[in-house]
Homo-oligomer: A and B are copies of this chain.
């Protein structure tokens, strides 16, 4: 069994940002020389997410509005008694989930026509990390 472990670092300009990392993941799969296997793409922070959907700017704005509606910024989260102000970012992370597993077939991300991997930052403007780990043969 082969494996590859790499980390991507992000430091977004805005608090919330959605970054297409599909090409980065494919490049790491190339580097792994894995032909058949899985690659895990997983946020290492609890106020960020990773999801698969469309690379369409209107949809990304819709997703951002929708997350703010279902997991809004509020002053009164209990979590804020710790001094934090990012309770909403934790809930947004739970909602989109923090990780995806992508199948690797013939050395390629085995995707449908519109699937793209996004890093979803919900509490940015500081250095945060995603792990890319592939296993297979």
Instruction: Give me the interface of A with B, judged by CB distance under 8 Å.
Output: 1, 3, 5, 36-38, 40, 42-46, 51-54, 56-59, 61-63, 66, 70-71, 77-82, 87, 90-91, 93-101, 103, 105, 110-112, 114-115, 129, 131, 133, 135-137
Contacts and interface: CB of A to CB of B under 8 A. Distances in A.
Contacts of A45: 112, 114-115
Contacts of A79: 54, 56, 58-59, 62
A81 B53 contact: no
B101 A101 contact: yes
A136 B1 CA distance: 7
A51 B94 contact: yes
Tally of this chain's copies: 3
Contacts of A96: 94
B62 A78 contact: yes
Contacts of A114: 45-46
Given A45-B115, A58-B81, A62-B78, 13 more contacts: A1-B37, A1-B137, A38-B38, A45-B114, A53-B90, A53-B93, A58-B78, A58-B80, A59-B77, A59-B90, A62-B91, A66-B71, A99-B100
